[in-house]
Amino acid sequence: MTDVPSNWNVPNALTTLRIVMVPFFGWALLHDGGSSDGWRWVAYALFVVAMITDKIDGDIARKHNLVTNFGKIADPIADKAITGMAFVGLAIIYPAMWWIAVPVLIREWAVTFARLSIAKQVVMPANQSGKVKTMAQALALGGLVAPFHYLTGFWDLPGDVVWWLAIALMAVAVVLTMTSGAEFARDVMRHRRSADVPAKA
């Protein structure tokens, strides 16, 4: 009989930390309407910590067999909460980003809820385009959260380069977000059709 891992473990603690960080990240990002360079750097640091702990807790959970039902539910919620806050915060600061934030957030939460709803029947692993999408999103959001565009003096040109790279990555992330969402919906339909065959038989 396989021992069920306790919910009290390091991966779950890191996941919980990411959830707790969300309001602090949002406050730092939107402090003074998002015009405070110092607080934007604080928000960037919190975002980077969240992305790093996301990678670490997954690796630890798989390596040490610490995958729990709590982690399966809380981990994607933590991921979508921190990236969702970044999208909403940036859209408040740069209103043109609402055209990006709304469809992306609808897709992200729809896939998350769908993934959780079928978790008891099957675990749908992230496909390759989904993994690339996640990385592109993280890099793009990080580049836009930090005030690279407002650097002056020697850092003026490098800051502008990073800013425009982040915008280009965001365009790539949006395309991958939609295409990977379509691939997920296709995989779910395939699973349901294959599950229906034995049931009818």
Q: pLDDT digits over 122-156, tens only?
A: 555 566 777 788 899 999 999 999 999 888 888 89
Comparing 169 with 188, the larger pLDDT belongs to 169
Domain contains 24: yes
Question: Per the domain annotation, does 4 fall within a domain?
Answer: no
95 inside domain: yes
* Tens of pLDDT, residues 64-103: 888 887 887 888 889 999 999 999 999 999 999 999 999 9
Would you say residue 20 lies in a domain? yes
Per residue in 98-129, pLDDT (tens digit) is 999 999 999 988 888 877 776 555 555 566 77
Count structural domains, the chain.
1
pLDDT at 1 over 50: no
**Residue 85, in any domain of the structure:** yes
User: Comparing 5 with 76, which gets the higher pLDDT?
Assistant: 76
DSSP the chain: -PPPPPS-SHHHHHHHHHHHHHHHHHHHHHGGGGT-HHHHHHHHHHHHHHHHHHHHHHHHHHHTT---HHHHHHHHHHHHHHHHHHHHHHHHHSGGGHHHHHHHHHHHHHHHHHHHHTTTT---PPPHHHHHHHHHHHHHHHHHHS-GGG--GGGHHHHHHHHHHHHHHHHHHHHHHHHHHHHHHHHHHHHHHHHHHHHH-
Domain coverage including residue 95:
10-200
Is residue 1 situated within a structural domain? no
